[in-house]
Structure 1
Amino acid sequence: MVNIYDNANEMAAALKSTTQYQELKQAFDMLKLDAVAYGLFEQFQTKQVALQQKQATGQELPPEDLQDLQNVGEKMQKITAIQDLIKKEQAMAGLMDELNAIVSQPIAELYRPENA
């Protein structure tokens, strides 16, 4: 019998050798070298997580918090290292979408009308 977790761990290891992962890692490493850009990136992430936690608990999101997050996001868009990271994240997300489609194919096939 196959241990599916072994397969998943193998895939996780293989993922690290993909071009998309390597380019994403390089972009993130480059971002960390720019203290100002990395600080802004961390600030955005912290604010985003805080807002998501409020939203998850049903709290109303104050407009000033949303505006603050948007302001930080606008500053980030002007930084080349962050723009590059975002492009690499998008490429990685595309690969992950493709992998998810492959992995979930048996479930999709199961629910096709001819199998019902």
Structure 2
Amino acid sequence: MTDRHTRRRPFPLAAFAGLAAVGAAAATVAAVSHSYAVCAVGLFVLGGAAFGAYRAARAADARTDRLVLQRLQQQPDLSQDTLANDLGLHQAAARLSLHRLSQSGSLPVAEGPADSGN
């Protein structure tokens, strides 16, 4: 059940990282040549690209969390390894998603054997 959107994360992050590098280079060159207006534009581009990278990463995390939650609602007794393999995720991505879902209280509760009261 590998979702084709799961592997999209590197492209937006790489694009924003490249844009941030261009902004940083422009700001550095402009500062050295005392062109502070261009330096300000370069820093603005750098900041915008960093924010874009953050938003892209958070969107990818939210997409992963939705996939993990949907899968666990279907089969709450899946192990982390099986869950990661079924969704085409790295083990660490599955663990992080489970941690985020656990912290938010969104994980379904697996029903265990009834307590005998002893």
TM-score, scaled to structure 2: 0.37
- Structure of higher RCO (CA pairs closer than 8 Å, 6+ residues apart): 1
Q: Which has the larger radius of gyration?
A: 2
Which structure has the highest helix share of the two?
A: 1
User: TM-score w.r.t. structure 1 length?
Assistant: 0.38
